[in-house]
Each structure stands twice: as structure tokens, then as C-alpha cells.
Amino acid sequence: MQTVTAPTQQSLANGGGKLKTLEQFIIERQGDVPGSTGQFSRLLRDIALAAKIVDRDVRKAGLVDIFGEAGGENATGDTQKKLDMLAHEEFVRALRRGGEVCMIGSEEHDEAIPIKTNGHSGRYIVLMDPLDGSSNVDVNVSIGTIFSIYRLPDGCEEPLTEHALQPGRDQVAAGYVVYGSSTMLVYTTGNGVNGFTLDPSIGEFLLSHPNIQTPNVGKIYSINEGNYRSWEDGTKEYIKWLQIEDKATNRPYTSRYIGSFVADFHRNLLKGGIYIYPANVRDPRGKLRLMYEANPMAFIVEQAGGRASTGSQPILDVKPEMLHQRCPVYIGSADMVEMAEDFVAGRRTL
Ligand code: AHM
Ligand code: MG
């Protein structure tokens, strides 16, 4: 595995001489996407622009009146917007302006949104969670954006919601932005995973984590253990197994749970580990959304050498039925996810 080291502020500010901007990287890699004519590169550029705008809003979150419930009014009578609605609007605006998209599906909008720019539609469908982990905003904890990109099937002129319901395997690209101690954009087009850190002084994402590979096994597990009693037996037993002392397998493992999927996923991707949001009694399909949370992260983790499962099948093979459908998620280091699947299926017990 290649070791990835975060660049220092100093090296980012210098441009590092050998550092590459996201835009340079996208142009170099344009050939990665079959049939790409530059539209796809422009789409990624639009997403990066929206990410920078949301980053700006997130960084100002404590300073301006963008906290509070959507629909409330601030002192000057302006309508207050929750940061997740604001992020949704910024992404839709940037994609609409860019002109490469024909439809957007968003966690913040019930229906898929058809997009026309100057009377024309692009060829791409973007599904997104504009601000994941938004319950963490008010307490200054990392949050993120997740996106998934599909092509409008050939021969379709008007996009319909069913065109967005393609299996995860058909994603053209997927990525996330984590607004953490620094802001990073990580994406794949099916030819490896690359991470870019935003240098706020020049407003550019710079290649900081080339060709990310996740370890086969890590020491971290991430799950909301408050829900323990409502999990199925296999998941309970797997978590117990992780906690048993055993020198040979480096156990017990360490529990880390931020409650922001993007941030938990990102840490585990770099360090090795497993993130689980299982089915439970309250939510028989779990909590996370297939189309704009589970699928994009599954594409990324597989590209980084990891594994993503519902517990019984690869997430990327799930047949989508609805834009906002949920699915159980076991994702991360390949050997750990495989072991979790064995427990869930009852092939392994304590
Ligand atoms: P959100 O998209 O409404 O923010 O919900 C998804 C979030 C994930 O980021 C996080 O991993 C999970 O919900 C946390 O849920 P819980 O509080 O049930 O552990
Ligand atoms: Mg979310």
C-alpha cells in the first residue's frame, strides 16, 4: 500500500512546484471516461466549484445567520436557511449553470429535478447528498458532500426518474467532499481514487492523496452502538468478536464513530477499518440512502481495494427501486467486510 501523507500548509501555499491542481488532473485524465468529449471534465469542474462555495458557507457557519430551521426568519427579515438546504441550492445552481447535467437527485428534494440550461440538457445525471452529517453542523464537527454520476441512457431525450435508478456498477464517477480540519475532494472515475486538498489561500484543490489504496485490514470499527439491541444477531456477534482480546489478530479493535458518514468513511479509507450502518428493527433497510450515500462510497472503496456490502450482496449490485431508498451498509477494508458478511450470513459464529 502506498503511504499517503497530508501536505503541510507551507507546501500547499507554495504550490509545491510539483503539486497539481484538480483542473490540471481532470484534463490529464479526460481519456479515462470512455466517450468523454470534455463535457464530463466540465461537470467535475462545476462540482468542484460548488464544493468551494459550500466550503465557504460552512467556514462562515458560526458567523452568519445560516443556522436555524429552514423557513425561520433572521433579525433583518431574510429567510434563514439550514446549511443543508443552502448546500443543495448551491450545487443545483452550479450544475444548472454548467450545462452538463439533465437531472439531479438530492437528499434535500423529494423528486428528481430535471435540468435545462438555456433550453438544453446535458447528458449526465447527478445524485447527491449535498450536506451529509448535517446534525453535526451546530457543534463544529466534520461534515461532507457525496455525489454519484451516471450517463443518461443513449436514445433518451427527456430524462425520467427511472433513468436515475441505474445500478451502482453503472456509475461513471463518484466522489465526496469532506469539510474537516481541511477540505478535501476525493473521487473516482473507475480508474483509481485520488484525493485533493483545498488550499484556501489560492482557492484551488491540489492533488494531495494520489492513488489511494485502503489497507486490507484496519483496527477501526465505526457503528452507532446505541442501537445494539435492535441489530440482527450476526451483526451483534461480529461486533463482539471485534472486541475480544487476541494478539494474533490484533484485537480488540478501536471504536471510532463521528456520526458523519463522509468523515467516518474518509478516516477508515486512509487508515483501514469498517463502517457499518446495519438494518435494525426500526429501519429494516438501515438508515443510509442507496443512490447518493451507499453507491458512491461503494464505488470509491472498491476502487481503493476495499469492499462494500449490504451484508448479503455487494452494494453496487443492488437493483434500485426508488430515488431515496435505504440500504444496510458494511463498508471498508476488504477482509473486515468479508468477515462481517460471514457473521451476518451465519457462516461464522463466536
Ligand atoms: P443525513 O444524511 O441526514 O445527515 O444522515 C446520514 C448520517 C450519516 O452521515 C451518519 O453516518 C448517520 O446518519 C448517523 O446516524 P445515527 O445518528 O443514527 O448514528
Ligand atoms: Mg446523508
Predicted pLDDT at 49 = 97
Task: Spell out which residues have Cβ within 5 A of ligand 2, the ion.
Answer: 129, 132
Q: What is the mean pLDDT of residues 210-235?
A: 96
Residues 11-209: name the CATH superfamily. Fructose-1,6-Bisphosphatase, subunit A, domain 1 (3.30.540.10)
Predicted pLDDT at 282 = 82
Give the Cα separation of 322 and 63 in Å (integer). 38
Is the minimum distance from the CB of 133 to ligand 1 under 6 angstroms?
yes
108: annotated active-site residue: yes
Give the Cα separation of 318 and 150 in Å (integer). 16
CA nearest ligand 1 atom 17, residue: 259
> What is the CATH code for 220-345?
3.40.190.80
CA nearest ligand 1 atom 11, residue: 261
Where in the chain are the domains?
A: 11-209, 220-345
* 220 C-alpha to ligand 1 centroid (Å): 18
| Domains 11-209 and 220-345 equal at CATH topology level | no
* 10 C-alpha to ligand 2 centroid (Å): 33
Q: Which residue has the higher pLDDT, 120 or 103?
A: 103
| pTM for the predicted model, two decimal places | 0.91
Give the Cα separation of 270 and 133 in Å (integer). 19
Predicted pLDDT at 11 = 47
* 287 C-alpha to ligand 1 centroid (Å): 7
The strand pairing partners of 177, in sequence order, are 145, 185
Predicted pLDDT at 82 = 83
Give the Cα separation of 81 and 71 in Å (integer). 7
Query: What tens digit of pLDDT does each residue of 162-197 get?
Result: 999 999 999 999 999 999 999 999 999 999 999 999
Is the separation of the CB atoms in 301 and 332 below 8 Å? yes
